[in-house]
């Protein structure tokens, strides 16, 4: 991954990539970034466990929300928060 600016600290700093959540598909089983197509969520290969009597709706990212991905971790960014130095917007594929 190549960031726009060099890491001035020089260390192996992990940076987060910021994606934009697209609409949830297949009832929330599948969701990708609307900008670059990165798969934010994919449960299509497994059967989610649903406890009897509980809501079977699968949690998905809010459409249009900014989702930070760093390694295997994901988090949401409030709309009004500027990006940190170690956060980079993903690039459109087209």
Contact positions vs Zn ion (CB under 5 A): 19, 33, 35-36, 38, 90
- Least distance (Å) from Zn ion to the CB of residue 15? 14
Strand segments, DSSP code E, in 1-94 are: 16-20, 30-32, 39-42, 66-70, 73-77, 87-89
- Of 27 and 66, nearer to Zn ion (C-beta) is 66
- Of 51 and 73, nearer to Zn ion (C-beta) is 73
- Least distance (Å) from Zn ion to the CB of residue 90? 3
- Least distance (Å) from Zn ion to the CB of residue 2? 15
61 strand-pairing partners: none
Residue 62 burial class via C-beta count within 10 angstroms: exposed 0-12, middle 13-18, buried 19 and up: exposed
């Amino acid at each position: 991954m190549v960031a726009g600016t060099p890491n001035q600290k020089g260390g192996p700093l992990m940076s987060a990539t910021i994606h934009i959540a697209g609409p949830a598909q297949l009832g929330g089983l599948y969701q990708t970034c609307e900008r670059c197509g990165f798969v934010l969520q994919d449960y299509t290969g497994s059967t989610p466990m649903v406890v009897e009597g509980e809501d079977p709706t699968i949690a998905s990212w809010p459409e249009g929300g900014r989702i930070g991905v760093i390694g295997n971790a994901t988090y949401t960014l409030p709309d009004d928060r500027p990006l940190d130095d170690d956060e980079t917007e993903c690039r459109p594929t087209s």
